[in-house]
Structure 1
Amino acid sequence: MPLFSRTRLFAALTLGAALCAPALAQDFPNKPITFIVPFAAGSATDQIGRAIGQGVTEQTGQPVVIENRPGASAMIGAQTAARAAPDGYTVLITTNTTHAANEHLYKSLAYDPVKDFAPITLLGKGGQIMVVHPDAPAKTVGEFIEQARKQPGRLSFGSGSSSSRIAGELLQQMAGIELLHVPYKSNPLGITDLLGGQIDTMITDTATGLPQVSAGKLRALGVTGSERSALAPEIPTIAEAGVPGYEMGYWFAAYAPAGTPEPVVARLHELLRKAADSKAAESFYRQTGTAKETSTPQELAAFQAEESKKWGRIIKSAGIQPE
């Protein structure tokens, strides 16, 4: 084919794609959307995914299917989403675990947190809570630290996310104690073992831990934020309870597979942002103490870059070697 003809053909195809993209976004969605959650059912990420999904369904009339893919520090779910068709019908509802911490915790990942995804929006930010079994001898953070110092490496802490793990690692570093780390596919699975007495403590998201505290099944020792939680103001911060300067949190965000057309990403952004204002989402934010926060795709990309640097510094200072 002559060069001129090939050039005209390429131009025509490019123009056709550009003209079709807005039409595609206008008709989107016309079938169910899948939200991949890289943590187990019942986790905070699962809860916010279901709440946002309900808000999307209310707007579009299309079902939102929640697909839980826990395991390998959320890498299984992230990889699944990265390999999905970039048509807007697969969305990853995730946290800083997959998109800020894992790249510093592991020598190699099965996905690229930047190149494999198209940012959609932030969904919220939250804090964590340190919990123990009600029969545990420690009734305060200070007592737990004292007990740990007397038994180096004997007390264990579970984690089902990078946020949970790093919170425990940071506690060890700042308090000068040595704990045994027990990893789980998701925080609810760790909570189950804590309830059964198989591990000694967890620092987990408030959405998972606080209901157990309210039911009297676990005892709270402290929260990880710089201020006490409005949901449980009687629980001190870990900083005021014995570890000055301690602070740790996490965030939720939504991503599409890389290559998803920009008009479709824009439509998803519109749907998810409005879904964050739905009754189901507002209930989640209120009941879990999560701060609602949305963003533009560009703002999420910039935020993720800064968070990756921050988590890298925390992990390095905690002396954690990439696995």
Structure 2
Amino acid sequence: MNCFAERTRAPWRALLALCLPALAAPAAAQPYPERPVRIVSITSAGTGADDYTRLLAKHLGQKLGQSFVVENKPGANMILACDYVAKAAPDGYTLLLSASGAMAANPFLFKRLPYDPLKDFVPIARMSVIPVALVVPGTSPYRTVADLVSAAKARPGTLNFGTSSTGYRTIITAFNDAAKIQAMSVPYKAMSTLLPDLMSGVVDYGVVEVSAVVPHVQSGKLRA
């Protein structure tokens, strides 16, 4: 799940409507926004989430009469983007395209984070729910989920899987646990770097955005 949040020093608040208030501004301030707004994305360019972000930025600009500029900061399990926005001025002009993993999973997966999901951000709106797919290379001998599970059980710890964030790592770990299989994790900075290795067979399987793999499944380079 992706959502918009803004930098704030106030405690966590309930989900806000699709408006972007400048929380630090006085009541008599000019209508928001008075200058260009940055939307910092935890994803790399070319992903489904990035496409949604740029589409929304375009419509926000048309609706509010000001530029909304998307800035991609992928990497470090979404920590780079979150830390960057957490340290920005809490004036409503630096927004974050986040994901459930950055806010709900990271606090439980890392002993220390440079940001606090509850104190450093105010959620504005849910942006999208992105479907994902379990995929293998097009040349893989595994044609079904059962084939993959059987091979992993026959050779515990020898297969590997690729992930591009903690959100996807959580999903695929849940799958491995449910199937009672052991495999090695290969972390990637972004979906754009994971996909080539999936298609070439460097990694055995992975969980990726459906929108990002449809062309590769249709061409036979990947198998869903």
Structure 1: segments with no counterpart, 5+ residues: 1-17, 221-323
1:17-32 aligned at under 5 Å gives the runs 21-24=26-29, 26-32=30-36
Match of 2:11 in 1: none
Separation (CA, whole Å) in 2 of partners of 1:101 and 1:209: 24
Match of 2:205 in 1: 201
Residue of structure 2 aligned with 1:33, choices 21, 31, 37:
37
- What is the DSSP-based 3-state SS (H/G/I as helix, E as strand, rest coil) of the residue aligned with 1:27? coil
Maintained 8 Å contact 2:102/2:167: no
Residue-by-residue CA offset, 1:300-321 (whole Å, 9 max, x unaligned): xxxxxxxxxxxxxxxxxxxxxx
TM-score (norm 1): 0.59
- Structure 1's 52 and 137: CA in aligned 2 closer, same or farther, altered over 3 A? same
Quote the sequence identity (%): 34
Separation (CA, whole Å) in 2 of partners of 1:53 and 1:171: 34
Match of 1:77 in 2: 81
- What is the DSSP-based 3-state SS (H/G/I as helix, E as strand, rest coil) of the residue aligned with 2:130? strand
Maintained 8 Å contact 1:70/1:186: yes
Separation (CA, whole Å) in 2 of partners of 1:49 and 1:171: 28
Per the TM alignment, residue 142 of structure 1 is displaced from its structure 2 partner at its CA by 0.4
Deviating more after overlay: 100-109 vs 160-169: 160-169
User: Which protein shows a greater Rg?
Assistant: 1
Match of 1:174 in 2: 178
Residue of structure 2 aligned with 1:59, choices 63, 73, 76:
63
Per the TM alignment, residue 207 of structure 1 is displaced from its structure 2 partner at its CA by 2.4
Match of 1:213 in 2: 217
Residue of structure 1 aligned with 2:51, choices 27, 47, 50:
47
Match of 1:276 in 2: none
Maintained 8 Å contact 1:39/1:185: no
Match of 1:189 in 2: 193
Runs of 4+ displaced beyond 6 Å: none
Separation (CA, whole Å) in 2 of partners of 1:199 and 1:139: 16
1:160-171 aligned at under 5 Å gives the runs 160-171=164-175
Q: Aligned letter for 1:131?
A: V
Separation (CA, whole Å) in 2 of partners of 1:212 and 1:23: 53
Per the TM alignment, residue 80 of structure 1 is displaced from its structure 2 partner at its CA by 0.2
Residue of structure 2 aligned with 1:97, choices 84, 93, 101:
101
Residue-by-residue CA offset, 1:33-79 (whole Å, 9 max, x unaligned): 11001121122332221111111111123222111111110001000
Per the TM alignment, residue 92 of structure 1 is displaced from its structure 2 partner at its CA by 0.1
Separation (CA, whole Å) in 2 of partners of 1:190 and 1:94: 20
Match of 1:309 in 2: none
Residue of structure 2 aligned with 1:114, choices 94, 115, 118:
118
Maintained 8 Å contact 2:198/2:205: yes
Maintained 8 Å contact 1:32/1:89: yes
Separation (CA, whole Å) in 2 of partners of 1:205 and 1:23: 44
Separation (CA, whole Å) in 1 of partners of 2:88 and 2:212: 29
Residue of structure 1 aligned with 2:131, choices 127, 131, 137:
127
Separation (CA, whole Å) in 2 of partners of 1:163 and 1:93: 14
Tell me which protein shows more helix as a share of its residues. Answer: 1
Structure 2: segments with no counterpart, 5+ residues: 1-22
